[in-house]
Structure 1
Amino acid sequence: MGCTGSSRAKGDENAQKIRKPKPWKHSEPITRTQLVQMRDEFWDTAPHYGGQKEIWEALRAATEADLTLAQVIVDSAGVIVQSADLTICYDERGAKYELPKYVLSEPINLMQDS
């Protein structure tokens, strides 16, 4: 009885800490089009790094939602959030999911497309 309740409670506790990522800077200024392309490439290849496709899909939906909806998505999917900004998460089976900052927020040196 305690094992199941304990691990679930820990997951719930971690998931409640979701917050907006800290500002970051890309190595060189990029445009919104380039950022979108980088994000699309990451999400297209992410399931090949391991983990469950459904969890990757939930994480993508969470990164594209506001914080309140993101919280609901990760809770519903059973995602255990290690880093409050979603950069490191685990599923209930212990598979690790690492998200780069560029899928979580925009860099401070984002340029307008020409």
Structure 2
Amino acid sequence: MGCAGSRAKKEEPVKKIRKPKPWKHSEPITRAQLVQMRDEFWDTAPHYGGQEEIWDALRAAAEGDLTLAQAIIDSAGIIVQNPDLTICYDERGAKYELPKYVLSEPSNLIREN
């Protein structure tokens, strides 16, 4: 039995993640340029602070489909502020900001033949 003043703690609802809204790069870019931008971001991301394991989980979520991404986010204990994963926190309160270019393709991506 609990204390008369105690209440069951309400758990916050889990935010379902989604792909970012369509976006446009400042100039048309090729897939190779997009991949290079993504690689550079992920190579330097741990230097922005936070835990390397959380950065790894965010990368896996960004590169997976939505169902897999949701499972990764939930299992890593990542707190999602924006459902498109652009702003997240770990359980210790460290902030993780992801640019849209690591989460989806721009509308002006040059299709190579």
* TM-score, length of structure 1 as denominator length: 0.88
Corresponding residue number in structure 1 for 2:47: 48
Question: Which residue is equivalent to 2:92?
Answer: 93
- Percent identity, aligned pairs only, is 78
Decide whether the 8 Å contact of 1:33 with 1:113 is kept in 2. Answer: no
Equivalence for 1:111: 110
Task: State the secondary structure of the residue aligned to 1:56.
Answer: helix
What is the aligned-residue RMSD (CA, Å)? 1.7
Secondary structure in 2 aligned to 1:84?
Answer: coil
Deviations 1:16-41 (A, max 9, x none): 32011110000000000000000000
Could you tell me how far apart the structure 1 residues matched to 2:98 and 2:26 are? 17
Aligned to 2:3: none
Larger radius of gyration: 2
- Give the letter for the 1:84 counterpart: P
User: What CA distance in whole angstroms lies between the structure 2 residues aligned with 1:75 and 1:91?
Assistant: 11
Which structure features the higher share of helix residues? Answer: 1
Partner of residue 68, structure 1: 67
Contact residue 21 and residue 85 of structure 1 kept, 8 A: yes
Detail structure 1 runs of 4+ shifted over 3 Å in the superposition: none
With structure 2 as the length reference, what TM-score do the two structures score? 0.89
What do residues 57-110 of structure 1 show as CA deviations (whole Å, max 9, x unaligned)?
A: 000000011111100000000000000000000000000000000000000000
